[in-house]
Amino acid sequence: MSTKECVQCLETKDINDFSKKTLLASGLHSRYSRCKECMKQYIPMEKYKGESFIKPSGEQLKMIYADDLFDYDESIVVSLLASSKSGKTTLLYNILSKISKNYDIIIFFSANSKAKIYKNFVDDFKNMIMVQDFDPRIIHALHHINSECGNQFRYFILMDDIINVKYAPVVAELFSTYRNTNFSTLHSVQYAKYMNPNARAQCHLILLGRHNNMNQIEKTVNEYLYGNDKLMKLIPEKYKSKQEKLDWLKLYFQANTDNKNFIAYDVLNNKIYKTKSKVLIS
Ligand SMILES: [Zn+2]
């Protein structure tokens, strides 16, 4: 089986992941062939050769540990958007290490609650309850308890890869009115299309991790990053057109979400950081 590195996503892929046409046009061993996925999001790499996307010229984004992002007293809404193997679970562990003591009950809804890695969570966070899939009755019950006792309890609701709840009424409530009754919510999804539209509008903090392909990167850059003044300032002056700036941002996003790094957009304070986990788990 023959493999080849794609010049755009830099992943080593099976030769079948490259279209015959591209391979022939570029020569089988050419340094400039792209996989089928990247052909859909063609970026003229020659133009950006020699650019450092990790340390571009000019002002840098500040790197801070993920747990330091969570200095909130009030209830918060967090969106996390990242593919599998992005370092997401480790990031969630770091976040919970910081905030778990601030909450009475943490509910962790997971599509995969029996996974080995979650043993760390169950062992270390005694106020956390791991629940397979999503169960709205739990949210209703917690809400009912708080309405009976003047919002005495603080809840943190974590939904990890729960994709069938986008339009669930109770989820819309979590992102809006339930914040006033001591609910904080973190929704983690692999694709933006699974995110409740309210969550996007109401977010205090958006965490963006590695994406598996350029189509996803394109969507995220368009939706969350393009136009952000701090990011736009990082783009070298010589890239003038909107397309050049978008392509630069896509490559920047890709380089800076590799190795379990994330980009964090603190919507509340209009700040943007690079972030990573302090403690690594496996
Ligand atoms: Zn590729």
Average pLDDT over residues 29-46: 79
262 or 197: whose pLDDT is higher? Answer: 262
Burial 215-250 (b: 16+ CB within 10 A, else e): ebbbebbeebbeeeeebeebbeeebeeeebbbbbbb
- pLDDT, residue 26, reads 56
- Expressed in angstroms and rounded, the spacing between residue 35 Cα and the centre of ligand 1 is 4
- Expressed in angstroms and rounded, the spacing between residue 41 Cα and the centre of ligand 1 is 9
- Expressed in angstroms and rounded, the spacing between residue 153 Cα and the centre of ligand 1 is 48
- pLDDT, residue 30, reads 57
- Expressed in angstroms and rounded, the spacing between residue 261 Cα and the centre of ligand 1 is 20
**Segment 97-131, tens digit of pLDDT:** 999 999 999 999 999 899 898 999 999 999 999 99
**Domain residue spans in the chain?**
1-40, 62-214+258-276
Round the CA-based radius of gyration of the chain to a whole number and report it: 21
Average pLDDT over residues 135-155: 97
Average pLDDT over residues 137-153: 97
- Token pair for 74: 């009030």
- Expressed in angstroms and rounded, the spacing between residue 248 Cα and the centre of ligand 1 is 16
- pLDDT, residue 73, reads 85
- Determine the CATH number of domain 62-214+258-276: 3.40.50.300
d(CA 87, CA 101): 23
- Expressed in angstroms and rounded, the spacing between residue 245 Cα and the centre of ligand 1 is 20
- Expressed in angstroms and rounded, the spacing between residue 40 Cα and the centre of ligand 1 is 9
Percent of the chain's residues with pLDDT above 90:
57
Does the pLDDT value for residue 31 go beyond 70? Answer: no
Residue 28's pLDDT band, with cuts at 50, 70 and 90, is low
- pLDDT, residue 146, reads 97
- Expressed in angstroms and rounded, the spacing between residue 115 Cα and the centre of ligand 1 is 30
- Expressed in angstroms and rounded, the spacing between residue 6 Cα and the centre of ligand 1 is 5
- Expressed in angstroms and rounded, the spacing between residue 280 Cα and the centre of ligand 1 is 28
- Token pair for 81: 């958007």
211 or 19: whose pLDDT is higher? Answer: 211
Spatial CA neighbour of 186 closest among 95, 64, 53, 84 = 95
d(CA 225, CA 250): 9
pTM value is 0.90
Average pLDDT, the chain: 89
- Give 45's contacts (C-beta < 8 A, 6+ positions apart): 7, 8, 32
**Segment 226-281, tens digit of pLDDT:** 999 989 999 999 999 999 999 999 999 999 999 999 999 999 888 999 999 999 88
Does the pLDDT value for residue 157 go beyond 80? Answer: yes
- Expressed in angstroms and rounded, the spacing between residue 38 Cα and the centre of ligand 1 is 4
**Strand boundaries in the chain, DSSP class E:** 3-5, 12-14, 62-65, 77-81, 105-110, 128-132, 155-160, 183-189, 205-208, 262-266, 271-276
Burial 183-197 (b: 16+ CB within 10 A, else e): bbbbbbbbbbebbbe
- Expressed in angstroms and rounded, the spacing between residue 90 Cα and the centre of ligand 1 is 26
